[in-house]
Amino acid sequence: MPWFENMEQYVNVKSGCLIDYHESGEQYVKRSLEEASADFTNGNLSERVFARATTGDPDAILDLALRYLSGCGMRKKSFEGALLLLDSFFDPECTEMPYVGDAIPRSLKAQAHCCAALAYFEKVLASPEERVAIQADERRFHRKETMALGVSAPPFANFALALHHANESVKLGLVSPVVLRAGFMMRDIGASLGVDLSRMDGSRRFRPLWRALDRRSEEIYVEERLRRRKAAADPAAYVCAAEGCGIRGEERRALRSCAGRCPPDLKPHYCSKECQTKDWKQRHKTICKPGSTGKPPSITEAEKSLALTIYELGDSVDSDDTEDAPPPTAGPSGTTADELPFRLRPPGPGQFVDIPTPGAPGGSIRITTNTLDAETLREFREHVLQRA
Q: Which residues contact 246 (CB under 8 A, 6 or more apart)?
A: 240, 353, 354, 378, 381
| Dihedral sign (CA 268, 271, 277, 283) | negative
Tens-place pLDDT, residues 281-321: 888 888 888 877 666 667 777 777 777 777 764 333 333 33
Amino acid 365: pLDDT: 76
Beta carbons within 10 angstroms of residue 387's beta carbon: 6
Amino acid 25: pLDDT: 82
Amino acid 79: pLDDT: 96
- Torsion, Cα 273 275 276 279, to 10 degrees, reads 160
* CA distances from residue 331 to 88, 265, 369, 370 in whole angstroms, order as listed: 56, 17, 17, 15
The number of residues making up the chain comes to 388
Spans of the chain below 70 pLDDT:
201-203, 230-237, 251-252, 293-297, 312-350, 359, 361-362, 370-371, 388
Average pLDDT, the chain: 81
Amino acid 270: pLDDT: 87
- Burial-class residue 257 by CB neighbours within 10 Å (0-12, 13-18, 19+): buried
Q: Are 198 and 44 within 8 A, CB to CB?
A: no
